[in-house]
Copies of this chain bind each other. A is one copy, B any other.
Amino acid sequence: MSIKYAILGYLSWRPLSGYDLKKLIADSVAFHWTGNNSQIYTTLVDLHREGLVTQELQPQEHYPTRKVYTITERGRADLRTWLAMMPELPQLRNGFLTQLAWADCLTAPELDALLAKYETEVQMQLLMCREQARRGSVSPARTPREGNLWRMLAENRIGFYEHEVAWAQRVRRELAAGAGEAGGAATPSTGGGTE
Contact = CB atoms under 8 A, between A and B. Distances in A.
B101 A9 contact: yes
Given A167-B159, A171-B152, A189-B141, A83 B103 contact: yes
Interface of A: 2, 5-6, 8-9, 12, 30-32, 76, 79-80, 82-84, 86-106, 110, 114-115, 117-118, 121-122, 125, 135-153, 155-157, 159-160, 163-164, 167, 170-171, 174-175, 178-179, 182, 186-195
B148 A98 contact: no
Chain A interface main SS type: helix
B145 A87 contact: no
B102 A147 contact: no
How many copies of this protein are present in the complex? 2
Given A31-B97, A83-B103, A86-B117, 7 more contacts: A6-B98, A87-B99, A90-B94, A90-B122, A136-B191, A144-B187, A144-B188
Contacts of A153: 97, 100-101
A152 B174 contact: yes
Name the residue in A99, A164, A178 with the highest tally of chain B Cβ atoms < 10 Å from its Cβ: A99
Contact of A192 (B100, B106, B137, B188): B137
